[in-house]
Chain A
Amino acid sequence: MIANLGFGALVIALLASLYGTGAALYGARKQKAAWVDSARNAMLLTFPLITLAALCIITLLVNGNYEVEYVASVTSNSMPTYLKITALWGGQAGSLVFWTWLMSAFAAAVTLRKWDRDREFLPWVIVVSLVTLAFFLVMIVFFENPFARIWQPPLGQPIKAMLPPAGAELLVQADGRGLNPLLRHPGMIIHPPMLYLGFVSFVIPYAFAIAALITGRTDDRWIRITRRWTLIAWLFLSLGLILGGRWAYDVLGWGGYWGWDPVEIAAFMPWLTGTAFLHSVMIQEKRGMLKHWNMVLIILTYALVIFGTFLTRSGVLSSVHAFAQSAIGPLFFIYIGLTFIISVALLLRRWNELKSQAQMNSMFSREALFLLNNLLFMGILVVCFWGVIFPLISELFTGQKVTVGPPFYERATGPLFAGLLLLMGVAPLSAWKFSTAITLGRSIWKPLLVSLAAPAIALGVGLRQPAAILGFWLCALVSAVTLYEFWRGAIARHRKSGENLPLALWRLAGRNRRRYGGYIIHLGVVLMALGIIGIEIFQTETQGTISQGETLRLGRYIMRYDSLANFDTRDGRNVARAVVSVFKDGKYIGELHPRRDYYYESQQPMTIPGVRSTWEDDFYVLLVDWQPISARGATFKVYHNPLVNWLWLGGVVFILGTLVTAWPDREPEGAVAFARRSQAAQARV
């Protein structure tokens, strides 16, 4: 009965969102506030309803109600309870419900904000949010129902359906097929929710943008309202991407963190447009320019969010992530197309009103450099998008599938990423409006000079790879410029107020968290870039089959195969766990335990590396194969990944910087504005 309850809740949620859409449209057209309020209540109602549905699924999962198809497909008796709960997003139908639940939470949160100053936006924000919600609910209720049960008719094959077919009886299985082993990892438990949170929270700024287009209130109000929403969305998306990388490194067993898999790219693309958006809205706020462009960026971000979900969920591309395949692809495709066309049509309708008396005084001004930054982000987006869809186009027109693999992306995006780092080094020193080559040169020469030490040292220690030397120089430049900016600000404040330096630095950052949080994010990117340069350019590997007591050498490291144990665990795995000793420069530095888990239920092996991780490098050992009896012993694959730990540290710094930027102001917005107005009035007097 729990299944019926959950399904009922979903159906009511769908009806509520359809009603809310209609009521909001009617209320906005006829200027009837009561209808808009009713729509608002409907939107609020979807949250408890979908919460109830999600709780029903969790109950079924934990109780092991295997007559429900979804439960049987993602859980089994041997799984621990916490994995049964997280199996909510372990399969197609469940993750759609999870997506919808998060979306309804955000929609409910947005209805609860103070709307007094922005009443005219309200109905349209409701419409956009509820249409998105309704679309996903339609897919769940009609195509991917997590509550569908398996029925055995008197004759023939079992049927998957919500209601019993005539004469059929429930088919209760004794055990389920279990969760995909790749998903039974802490990283994978957190990674999808973070990505989904990032995805759904980008719907809110998009909803406000569309509301601004429809109502014609096209000043930068919508940007100011959604600034924090956008940052939060971006925070979660970044966190999701970083955690995904870490998960790949720890679990997928290929010595890397990012494989340019189409589904990774699917999550990366909205991040690219989102990042470009975060930069370019500043131009609109400061200079009143680029109103069209910001609309384009947020529309693209929304389209890419849905596209990303579509790529992951429709099985249109088979890849490591495409665990679930289904027939919802065409629906997604139509939805993306429709919303995109409507958004662009609305934008074109307001095109003239969005024109600004823009003027660009210098190619070296902050706004000009921000535009270049946007160009580079868009360039990376084009490479990614094209790389993902080209195999489909090729299949469509020639019938032959092709692979667009990492070499393509690396070659095409490498220079663009380098360009972004360069801009990250230069732009913070340029001023709005009036920077010229001379003023910019005057502020940059000192950090530039300091940064040249990095390539000098690199050449000095014998590095000859041009890409690495350039990369290290860019990292040094961004670090020097960013720290120089902190320094200049702190010293200026210190001189003016007499505060000691650390306090001056602290207060300075506190006064403009957006600016200095942004700089912290830049420093995080530099650290990540160091790790990426280390592993991408200097990674080495070797593989060999050795017997016990024999060794394998990789650079300064030697690895000795000591022993191997093979045993079954209670949660349905067969584990082969090797013990290897690692020596560096002839000195014993520790023991590693690479292992291979074989999951009986899903008949899937999983390779868990043994890793010795330091700030200098990672020594990463995989157990590729073993022969229990023969003398040849076991096959190991060994990677040497220099500097990779800086990638993870950079990720932490990056997230901390985003938190600093997004942290709520102590004073409410109105109070600050009031204080500023009165200050300005006093100054005039």
Chain B
Amino acid sequence: MNAPRWLKQLFLALPTALLGCLLVASTALASPVKQAGVSDDQVNAIAKELYCPVCENIPLDVCGTQACAQWRELIREKLSQGWDEEQIKQYFVAQYGDRVLATPPARGLNWLVYLIPPLAILAGGYILYRAFKSWQEPASAEQAPVSAQTAPQDEYIKRLEEELGKR
């Protein structure tokens, strides 16, 4: 009793079709509203990357406190004076220190924040590699890959049964 081929294809095609629909659906990209003077969106674009020292871990663009609203007004003022994003950020850094930035500037001790994770992962990878090496038995008799001639389906059933049996 063979399942019809089309059913098999359908089984694989369904998730793909679903994904396709989703992709089409997600393409609606927006353009911000243009307003006279400095728009809220221009202010928020910069505020998004700043953190006030009081409301820790809440980006400035969504923070609801009065102080943060004043900061946003300050950004607006600076923008209307023709400052660019970098100048405004530097202004806040000069006033309140590095902590207003979303990520620590890469200098001094702060380098550690960027170096430790990749180094740790590389070290982990190396340990894993060494472990693999030490676990690989030289030319074991057990290592007998199934010959290419065996029907893959039978091999699969055998393996599945074996694994299900083991639980």
Please determine whether A472 and B121 come into contact, CB atoms closer than 8 angstroms: no
Please determine whether B136 and A360 come into contact, CB atoms closer than 8 angstroms: yes
Q: C-beta contact mask, A469-486 vs B, less than 8 Å → 1, else 0?
A: 000100110011001100
**A141, chain B: closest CB distance, angstroms:** 31
**A438 interface hit (Cβ, 8 Å):** yes
Query: A542-B30, A555-B30 in contact; A358/B23 too (CB < 8 A)?
Result: no
Please determine whether A255 and B62 come into contact, CB atoms closer than 8 angstroms: yes
Query: A402-B110, A408-B113 in contact; A552/B33 too (CB < 8 A)?
Result: yes
Query: A320-B58, A361-B136, A387-B113 in contact; A378/B104 too (CB < 8 A)?
Result: no
Please determine whether A404 and B33 come into contact, CB atoms closer than 8 angstroms: no
Please determine whether A496 and B157 come into contact, CB atoms closer than 8 angstroms: yes
**A666 interface hit (Cβ, 8 Å):** no
**A607, chain B: closest CB distance, angstroms:** 6
| Bound Cα distance A361, B144 (Å) | 10
Q: C-beta contact mask, A420-439 vs B, less than 8 Å → 1, else 0?
A: 00000000000110101011
| Bound Cα distance A341, B108 (Å) | 31
| Bound Cα distance A538, B29 (Å) | 7
Query: A432-B163, A439-B146 in contact; A402/B59 too (CB < 8 A)?
Result: no
Partner of A454, one of B16, B41, B120: B16
A contact residues, range:
35 or more
Interface hits, A448-503 → B, CB 8 Å: 450-451, 453-454, 457-458, 461-463, 472, 475-476, 479-480, 483-484, 487-489, 491-492, 494-496, 498, 501
| Bound Cα distance A255, B62 (Å) | 9
| Bound Cα distance A225, B9 (Å) | 42
**A605 interface hit (Cβ, 8 Å):** yes
Q: Across the interface, which residues of B come within 8 angstroms of A434, CB to CB?
A: 143-146
**A642 interface hit (Cβ, 8 Å):** yes
**A443 interface hit (Cβ, 8 Å):** yes
**A511, chain B: closest CB distance, angstroms:** 6
Please determine whether B26 and A643 come into contact, CB atoms closer than 8 angstroms: yes
Please determine whether B39 and A363 come into contact, CB atoms closer than 8 angstroms: no
**B22 interface hit (Cβ, 8 Å):** yes
Partner of B20, one of A457, A538, A541: A457
Q: Across the interface, which residues of A come within 8 angstroms of B49, CB to CB?
A: 407
Chain A minimum-CB-distance residue to B124: A375
Q: Across the interface, which residues of B come within 8 angstroms of A540, CB to CB?
A: 29-30, 32
Q: Across the interface, which residues of A come within 8 angstroms of B101, CB to CB?
A: 402-403
Q: Across the interface, which residues of B come within 8 angstroms of A178, CB to CB?
A: none
Chain B minimum-CB-distance residue to A446: B12
Partner of A494, one of B1, B137, B156: B1
Please determine whether B145 and A439 come into contact, CB atoms closer than 8 angstroms: yes
Q: Across the interface, which residues of A come within 8 angstroms of B2, CB to CB?
A: 495
Please determine whether B1 and A498 come into contact, CB atoms closer than 8 angstroms: yes
Q: C-beta contact mask, A544-567 vs B, less than 8 Å → 1, else 0?
A: 110000001111110000000000
Please determine whether B113 and A512 come into contact, CB atoms closer than 8 angstroms: no
Query: A397-B109, A400-B98 in contact; A501/B145 too (CB < 8 A)?
Result: no
**A592 interface hit (Cβ, 8 Å):** no
Partner of A492, one of B24, B110, B156: B156
**A87 interface hit (Cβ, 8 Å):** no
| Bound Cα distance A491, B153 (Å) | 10
Please determine whether B163 and A515 come into contact, CB atoms closer than 8 angstroms: yes
Q: Across the interface, which residues of A come within 8 angstroms of B57, CB to CB?
A: 259, 261-262, 319-320, 403, 405
B contact residues, range:
35 or more
Q: Across the interface, which residues of A come within 8 angstroms of B25, CB to CB?
A: 615-617, 642-643
**A245 interface hit (Cβ, 8 Å):** no
Q: Across the interface, which residues of B come within 8 angstroms of A446, CB to CB?
A: 12
Q: Across the interface, which residues of B come within 8 angstroms of A544, CB to CB?
A: 33, 35, 39-41
**A89 interface hit (Cβ, 8 Å):** no
Partner of B23, one of A320, A451, A457: A457
| Bound Cα distance A408, B110 (Å) | 12
Please determine whether A479 and B145 come into contact, CB atoms closer than 8 angstroms: no
Chain B minimum-CB-distance residue to A368: B132
Please determine whether B143 and A361 come into contact, CB atoms closer than 8 angstroms: yes
| Bound Cα distance A402, B166 (Å) | 52
| Bound Cα distance A431, B156 (Å) | 9
Chain B minimum-CB-distance residue to A394: B109
| Bound Cα distance A676, B27 (Å) | 55
| Bound Cα distance A635, B69 (Å) | 12
**A530 interface hit (Cβ, 8 Å):** yes
**A333 interface hit (Cβ, 8 Å):** no
Interface hits, A203-259 → B, CB 8 Å: 253-255, 259
| Bound Cα distance A179, B40 (Å) | 33
Chain B minimum-CB-distance residue to A537: B26
Partner of A487, one of B8, B28, B103, B166: B8
What are 7 sample pairs from A and B whose C-beta atoms fall under 8 A apart? A255-B62, A289-B135, A386-B116, A394-B110, A404-B113, A412-B117, A472-B23
Q: Footprint of B on A, CB under 8 Å? A: 253-255, 259, 261-262, 286, 289, 317-320, 358-361, 363, 368, 371-372, 375, 378-379, 382-383, 386-387, 390, 393-394, 397-398, 400-408, 412, 416, 431-432, 434, 436, 438-439, 442-443, 446-447, 450-451, 453-454, 457-458, 461-463, 472, 475-476, 479-480, 483-484, 487-489, 491-492, 494-496, 498, 501, 511-512, 514-515, 530, 534, 538, 540-545, 552-557, 605, 607, 615-617, 625, 635, 637, 640, 642-643, 646, 676
A386-B113, A405-B103, A617-B25 given. 4 additional CB < 8 A pairs? A453-B16, A492-B157, A617-B26, A642-B28
Q: Footprint of A on B, CB under 8 Å? A: 1-3, 8, 11-16, 19-20, 22-33, 35, 39-41, 44, 49, 51, 53, 56-59, 62, 64, 69, 97-104, 108-110, 112-113, 116-117, 120-121, 124-125, 128, 131-132, 135-137, 140, 142-146, 148, 152-153, 156-157, 159-160, 163-167
Which A-B residue pairs are the 10 nearest by beta carbons? A555-B30, A360-B135, A405-B102, A543-B40, A254-B62, A540-B30, A479-B15, A616-B25, A402-B104, A642-B26
